[in-house]
């Protein structure tokens, strides 16, 4: 493919799929940083700031966050601006956004973390009143550097039902992602495997060595383990796999394999 023929300026995908595209391009010797791609709009799964930097570096574009859910209208409920990349501008002329305590159902103070709740104002036929999204985030009414004044939904850090409790510690896959994206020699593909060993939860994080890296796997495993422990406070076993061994997804990435027996 000749890069000058690739005229698209905007790429819209899940963040994990954007990285899969980067990976294939690198393997084929195509430098996407020299393409005309300028903006990437990524959503449909939680992703970290570290992942944003990685995508921007490898695809040579500005990566902005998009939020939506099919129950409301699909992608486009809120989107970051390219000027600030600092939270998703919620379209308040169409929606009311609230953040609540998932236990009590009461709204939390502005800036506190909780579950995002959306009410539609202009949706016809199937309006939604205080729809509980299960997505965990914070709201800010501070004016954005771009000048827009609509409420900003901060980065979605996970879903209520995504949260793993490992030996009493709350763990979101996006935290593990942030812990490993900065480690040299590690590719940003990973899966969390949770098992019950005796009475204890056991977390294994499967990561991949970066293509072309000559680093010793045990050394890489040790760095990832250290980062996870210091950032999240949980001890994990880390398995370093060969490039391509962690399963890729065409849609939303599957980050967790929870093999613990279900509670009766």
Q: Choose which of 20, 81, 128, 193 interacts with Zn ion (CB under 5 A).
A: 81
By beta-carbon proximity to Zn ion, the closer residue of 81 and 100 is: 81
Which positions from 187 through 206 interact with Zn ion, judged by CB under 5 A?
Answer: none
Residue 232 and residue 169 in contact, taking contact as beta carbons nearer than 8 Å: yes
Q: Choose which of 84, 128, 163, 254 interacts with Zn ion (CB under 5 A).
A: 84
Q: Choose which of 144, 193, 254, 256 interacts with Zn ion (CB under 5 A).
A: 144
Instruction: Tell me the window of 111-119, 139-147, 157-165, 221-229 that interacts with Zn ion (CB under 5 A).
Output: 139-147
By beta-carbon proximity to Zn ion, the closer residue of 27 and 148 is: 148
- CA 10-43-102 angle, 5° bins: 160
Query: Alpha-carbon distance 202 to 164, whole Å?
Result: 11
By beta-carbon proximity to Zn ion, the closer residue of 12 and 146 is: 146
| Total number of residues that touch Zn ion (CB under 5 A) | 5
Beta bridge partners of 227: none
Q: Choose which of 12, 96, 100, 146 interacts with Zn ion (CB under 5 A).
A: 146
Query: Alpha-carbon distance 138 to 42, whole Å?
Result: 19
Minimum gap (Å) between residue 263 Cβ and Zn ion: 43
Minimum gap (Å) between residue 148 Cβ and Zn ion: 5
Instruction: Tell me the window of 27-35, 71-79, 144-152, 164-172 that interacts with Zn ion (CB under 5 A).
Output: 144-152
Q: What is the DSSP string of 164-220?
A: EEETTEEE-HHHHHHHHHTSTTEEEEEEEEEEEETTEEEEEEEEEEPTT----HHHH
Minimum gap (Å) between residue 95 Cβ and Zn ion: 17
Minimum gap (Å) between residue 60 Cβ and Zn ion: 22
Q: Give Cα 52 to chain centroid, integer Å.
A: 9
**222 class by beta-carbon count within 10 Å (0-12 exposed, 13-18 middle, 19+ buried):** middle
Which residues of this chain interact with Zn ion, rule CB under 5 A? 81, 84, 144, 146, 148
């Amino acid at each position: 493919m000749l890069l000058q023929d690739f005229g698209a300026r905007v790429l819209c995908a899940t963040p994990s799929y954007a990285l899969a595209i980067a990976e294939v391009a690198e393997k084929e010797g195509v430098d996407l940083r020299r393409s005309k791609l300028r903006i990437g709009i990524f959503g449909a799964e939680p992703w970290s700031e570290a992942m944003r930097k990685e995508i921007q570096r490898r695809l040579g574009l500005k990566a902005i966050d998009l939020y939506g859910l099919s129950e409301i209208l699909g992608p486009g409920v809120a989107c970051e601006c390219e000027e600030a990349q600092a939270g998703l501008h919620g379209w308040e002329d169409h929606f009311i956004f609230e953040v609540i305590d998932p236990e009590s159902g009461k709204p939390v103070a502005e800036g506190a973390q909780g579950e995002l709740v959306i009410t539609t104002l202009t949706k016809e036929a199937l309006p939604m009143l205080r729809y509980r999204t299960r997505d965990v985030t914070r709201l800010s009414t501070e004016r954005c550097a771009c000048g827009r004044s609509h409420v900003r939904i901060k980065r979605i850090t996970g879903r209520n039902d995504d949260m793993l409790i490992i030996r009493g510690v709350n763990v979101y896959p996006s935290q593990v992602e942030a812990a490993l994206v900065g480690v040299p020699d590690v590719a940003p593909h990973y899966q969390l495997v949770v098992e019950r060993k005796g009475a204890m939860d056991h977390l294994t994080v499967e990561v991949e060595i970066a293509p072309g890296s000559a680093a010793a796997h045990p050394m890489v495993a040790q760095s990832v383990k250290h980062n996870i422990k210091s950032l999240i406070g949980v001890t994990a076993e880390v398995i370093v796999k060969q490039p391509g061994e962690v399963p890729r997804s065409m849609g939303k990435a599957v980050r967790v394999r929870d093999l613990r027996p279900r509670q009766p």
